[in-house]
Amino acid sequence: MEIKELIGSLGDRIGIQLALDADGACSFEADGLVVTLNHFPEIDSLALTGDVGEPPPEKLESLYKAMLEANCAFAGTAGATLSLDSASGRFSLCRALPLATLGADSLYAAVEGFVNTLDAWHKIVANYRAPAEGQSAGVESEFSPGHGFMQV
């Protein structure tokens, strides 16, 4: 399936018109969060990106540790990667999807999972409280890869 058809099919499925712009990108809002799709023809992939939030001013080291632990083998990111955007100073979540593996259903499922993960990490960052002395910085109890419904 061609990239334009994939994006159009996703838009149909979530009830909005989606089309890539001249730069190969488009955005939509889901569950109050903006998700951007970027086509990278040079690596034959589609990237999903979303803003996770602004780092809290205190105890960043433990949050960074929790995010690195979540990135390790995608243990807490459902196949995506957390990072810090140096230009904006905000955290972001990104997941690359090889186009050769995508169909209409698999793209929708990947986007739904991404939105659930983005929502979970947005809440973690917004409500972050560093663990008490001696506790793990992990977020296992706070992060649950969603199986829910994506609302647009």
> Taking the model in full, what pTM does it have?
0.84
Total domains, the chain: 1
Domain that holds residue 99: 3-52+84-123
Residue 91 CA to its chain's centroid (Å) = 11
Q: Which residues contact 43 (CB under 8 A, 6 or more apart)?
A: 96
Whole-number pLDDT of residue 148: 41
Whole-number pLDDT of residue 107: 97
Are 121 and 91 in contact by the 8 Å Cβ rule? The answer is yes
pLDDT tens digits, one per residue of 40-90: 999 999 999 999 999 888 878 889 999 999 999 999 999 999 999 989 999
DSSP class of 107: H
In a domain, 65, yes or no: no
In a domain, 146, yes or no: no
Are 47 and 112 in contact by the 8 Å Cβ rule? The answer is no
- As a whole number of Å, the CA-based R_g of the chain is 16
CATH no. for residue 103? 3.30.1460.10
